[in-house]
């Protein structure tokens, strides 16, 4: 039994992770943390407790951890890669000053902490094909800098203080519930919305640009499974490569056309997003996650596409 605080519960991952955790544990044990302007609504609000939980306010977080006897924190507060390039100081403040607040509380109160890393933690010198678990990490984006620092700080708190920190490097995440905001991989979500609405899609990423992608149900499974994994098997902690599919915009558009033959796409490449995408892996090697905690994804491009189109037709039409 866990008492969980999800920080960033109304975001792309948080909105679905909170609901998944509330199905696993008594609903009252999973607190939906949010910031002003991004309050929970509907089922997320009604199905369990929620609390103002700004990562930049350590006292506020400590109050929630004490009040709800929290033992596990999912820290999902972040500015995604393209937005972080526009607001680098804010990205650092949220992602690193915020993380320090959480790690200190976790040290004092004995909480386990999950803070995701990303394919964004890699850079142009990283091997792009079958990117190894342990390799060169010299990202050129502010998002990437914060993700490398997140991995290092999380490992530091584990080795120095025994805080149970664990994490995965998420690929681009594709979901039909909450839209992502300001990421480099967002195109792979937006393309489905355009296709289902019958609109032409202007793709900001060039043909031939391969990136790891993952369907949200697999990402949620990873976030839960890594926190429930047997610690004696973990040789790594922060963070594990996890992978399920890799494609470029041409392959994705062709797959969508198999299901929506009239779908059309043109290119309007965004130089900021393209530069970031070019520096990221084409495809990660996730064998350590498979060996150390039995990671295995369930969805491939075909099954994800069928599920996305079915869900979006219900939602949008
Ligand atoms: C982004 O594109 O910034 C994120 C990520 C891959 O971490 N989706």
pLDDT digits (tens, 9 = 90+) for 89-138: 999 999 999 999 999 999 999 999 999 999 999 999 999 999 999 999 99
What is residue 288's predicted lDDT score, i.e. its pLDDT?
98
Given 74, 143, 192, 215, which residue is catalytic?
143
Q: Is 269 helix (H, G, I), strand (E, B) or coil?
A: coil
pLDDT tens-place string over residues 242-293: 999 999 999 999 999 999 999 999 999 999 999 999 999 999 999 999 999 9
Q: Which residue has the higher pLDDT, 267 or 181?
A: 267
Give the Cβ contact number of residue 213 at 10 Å.
Answer: 22
What is residue 274's predicted lDDT score, i.e. its pLDDT?
98
- Residue closest to 278 by CA, chosen among 191, 214, 184: 184
pLDDT category, 1, cuts 50, 70, 90? confident
DSSP β-ladder status, 245-247 and 211-215: antiparallel
- Residue closest to 14 by CA, chosen among 29, 42, 34, 43: 34
> Is residue 79 a contact partner of residue 129, using CB atoms and an 8 Å limit?
no
Residue to mutate (ligand 1; options 83, 148, 172, 186; most atoms within 8 A of CB): 172
Residue to mutate (ligand 1; options 80, 171, 190, 223; most atoms within 8 A of CB): 80
The CA-CA-CA angle for residues 222, 228, 233, to 5°, reads 95
In the residue annotation, 143 being an active-site residue is answered as yes
What is residue 9's predicted lDDT score, i.e. its pLDDT?
98
Phi, psi of 281 (to 5 degrees): -60, 155
- Is the bond into 239 cis (omega within 30 degrees of 0)? yes
Pocket residues: Cβ below 6 A from ligand 1: 80-81, 118-120, 143, 170, 172-173, 180, 183-185
What is residue 27's predicted lDDT score, i.e. its pLDDT?
79
Q: Which residues contact 67 (CB under 8 A, 6 or more apart)?
A: 51
Q: With respect to CATH, is domain 4-171+216-241 assigned 3.40.50.720?
A: yes
């Amino acid at each position: 039994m866990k008492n969980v605080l999800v920080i960033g519960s109304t975001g792309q991952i948080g909105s679905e992770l909170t609901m998944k955790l509330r199905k696993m544990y008594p609903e009252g044990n999973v607190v939906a943390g949010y910031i002003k302007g991004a309050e929970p609504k509907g089922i997320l609000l009604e199905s369990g407790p929620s609390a103002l939980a700004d990562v930049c306010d350590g006292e506020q977080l400590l109050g929630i951890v004490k009040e709800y006897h929290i033992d596990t924190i999912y820290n999902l507060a972040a500015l995604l890669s393209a937005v972080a390039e526009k607001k680098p100081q804010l990205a650092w403040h949220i992602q690193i000053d915020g993380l320090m607040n959480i790690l200190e509380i976790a040290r004092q109160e004995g909480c386990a902490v999950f803070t995701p890393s990303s394919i964004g933690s890699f850079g142009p010198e990283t091997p792009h094909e079958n990117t190894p678990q342990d390799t060169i990490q010299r990202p050129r984006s502010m998002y990437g800098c914060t993700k490398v620092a997140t991995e290092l700080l999380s490992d530091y708190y584990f080795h120095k203080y025994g805080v149970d920190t664990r994490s995965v490097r998420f690929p681009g995440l594709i979901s039909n519930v909450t839209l992502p905001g300001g990421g480099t991989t967002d195109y792979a979500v937006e393309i489905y919305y355009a296709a289902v609405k019958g609109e032409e899609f202007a793709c900001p990423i060039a043909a031939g640009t391969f990136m790891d992608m993952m369907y949200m149900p697999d990402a949620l499974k990873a976030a839960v499974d890594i926190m429930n994994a047997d610690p004696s098997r973990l040789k790594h902690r922060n963070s594990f490569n996890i992978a399920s599919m890799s494609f470029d915009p041409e392959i994705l558009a062709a797959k969508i056309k198999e299901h929506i033959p009239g779908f059309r796409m043109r290119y309007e490449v965004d130089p900021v997003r393209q530069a970031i995408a070019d520096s990221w892996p084409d495809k990660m090697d996730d064998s350590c996650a498979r060996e150390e905690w039995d990671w295995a994804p369930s969805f491939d491009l075909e099954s994800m596409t069928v599920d996305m189109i079915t869900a979006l037709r219900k939602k949008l039409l």
